């Protein structure tokens, strides 16, 4: 029996997983040739254990269900056979989210990551959140993951009492911990470890990977790993070995790039900036993102180019 077959989903989720982008043509259609090349190149990087497709970096909020299905199919076709494929599920309607999840499972996803609908940023009742996740759970059979949204995303970030209810569902086995704030990350980590010690917590705030690895993490699903996968892997490997001097050195190279992509206002430009980085690196011919996002500005490009040079990528 192969190693892949003897490992559980949780086992395979450990380490570094790249959250990938979706190349577009100038007319905003998916460029399948470029997407296949992107998926294959990132997934084949030594130390990249899997891919998160149809995440925020993959513009899941502006893709049709047929397009999301195609992304999963291409990932399954072009990534190495032992590559773990997790697909995001993101829809405002719980019924449509459940339908989407079932389609993406049939397309070949090994697991599904449930994103909170954007409308929850304003306000929501806990019962709505539980019901949304249950609709998806009941429509699927693969392992499921939670998403901890950034604390700056309003009510999308789950309070500890709500997170406790979500973690109690045995179909959910992991969380992409994207609180993007160290104190909340540690609070959630400690709560989850107390409730379910086997539950996988992935430190996925690209700007503070080093801190999350120091506090405790099973790995990460991050879009930074689709731009500089070798550097993210080197940070993780150093942290896993307890070589904090080497880990800090990798962090020093990554930090300016993480700031240029994710922190510089407005923060919602991350996907555009990821694509701009890949074009600057010669890995993408067109850096278009779907409207309403315009392409990177001259100021963004200057900051990204400088950060890529600091990271040793250029």
**Helical (H) or strand (E) element with 247:** helix 244-258
Domain with 38 in it: what CATH number?
A: 3.20.20.70
Six-digit token pair at 129?
Answer: 């959140």
On whether residue 307 sits in a domain, the answer given is: no
Residue 246 lies in a domain: no
Residue 294 lies in a domain: no
By annotation, the residues acting in catalysis are 147, 176
Structural domains in the chain (count): 1
Strand extents, DSSP E, 107-252: 111-114, 144-148, 172-177, 200-203, 219-222
Is 5 within the bounds of a domain? no
Calpha distance 19→252 (Å, rounded): 21
Is residue 286 assigned to a domain?
Answer: no
Evaluate whether residue 305 is within a structural domain. Answer: no
pLDDT at res. 5: 54
Q: State the pLDDT at residue 267.
A: 76
This prediction has a pTM of: 0.96
Give the residue numbers spanning the domain of 28: 11-241
Predicted local confidence at residue 266, as pLDDT: 82
Determine the pLDDT at residue 154: 87
Among the listed residues 293, 297, 259, the one whose alpha carbon sits nearest the alpha carbon of residue 24: 293
Looking from the CA of 57 toward its CB, the CA atoms found within 13 Å total: 25
Q: Is 310 within the bounds of a domain?
A: no
The per-residue pLDDT for 1 is 38
Q: What is the pLDDT along the chain (314 residues), one digit of tens a residue?
A: 344 457 999 999 999 999 999 999 999 999 999 999 999 999 999 999 999 999 999 999 999 999 999 999 999 999 999 999 999 999 999 999 999 999 999 999 999 999 999 999 998 899 999 999 999 999 999 999 999 999 988 899 999 999 999 999 999 999 999 999 999 999 999 999 999 999 999 999 999 999 999 999 999 999 999 999 999 999 999 999 999 999 999 999 999 999 999 998 787 899 999 999 999 999 999 999 999 999 999 999 999 999 999 999 99
């Amino acid at each position: 029996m192969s190693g892949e077959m003897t490992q559980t989903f949780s086992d395979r989720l450990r380490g570094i997983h790249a959250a990938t982008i979706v190349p577009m043509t100038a007319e905003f259609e998916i460029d399948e040739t470029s997407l296949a090349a992107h998926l294959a190149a990132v997934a084949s990087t030594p130390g990249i254990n899997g891919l998160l497709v149809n995440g925020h970096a993959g513009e899941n909020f502006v893709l049709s269900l047929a397009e999301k299905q195609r992304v999963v199919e291409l990932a399954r076709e072009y990534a190495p056979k032992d590559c773990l494929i997790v697909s995001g599920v993101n829809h405002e309607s719980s019924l449509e989210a459940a339908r989407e999840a079932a389609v993406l499972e049939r397309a070949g996803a090994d697991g599904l990551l449930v994103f909170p609908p954007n409308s929850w940023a304003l306000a929501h009742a806990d019962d709505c959140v539980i019901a949304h996740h249950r609709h998806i759970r009941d429509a699927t059979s693969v392992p499921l993951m939670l998403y901890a949204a950034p604390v700056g995303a309003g009510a999308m970030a789950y309070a500890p009492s709500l997170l406790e209810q979500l973690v109690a569902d045995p179909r959910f086995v992991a969380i992409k911990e994207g609180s993007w704030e160290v104190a909340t990350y540690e609070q959630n980590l400690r709560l989850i470890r107390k409730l379910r010690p086997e539950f996988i917590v992935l430190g996925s705030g690209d700007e503070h990977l080093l801190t999350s690895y120091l506090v405790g993490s099973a790995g990460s699903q991050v879009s930074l790993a689709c731009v500089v996968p070798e550097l993210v892997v080197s940070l993780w490997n150093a942290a896993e070995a307890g070589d904090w001097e080497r880990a800090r050195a990798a962090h020093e190279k990554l930090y300016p790039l993480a700031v240029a992509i994710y922190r510089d206002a407005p923060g919602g430009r991350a996907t555009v900036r990821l694509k701009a980085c890949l074009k600057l690196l010669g890995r993408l011919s067109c850096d278009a993102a779907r409207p309403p996002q315009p392409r990177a500005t001259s100021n963004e490009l200057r900051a990204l180019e400088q950060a890529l040079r600091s990271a040793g990528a250029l």
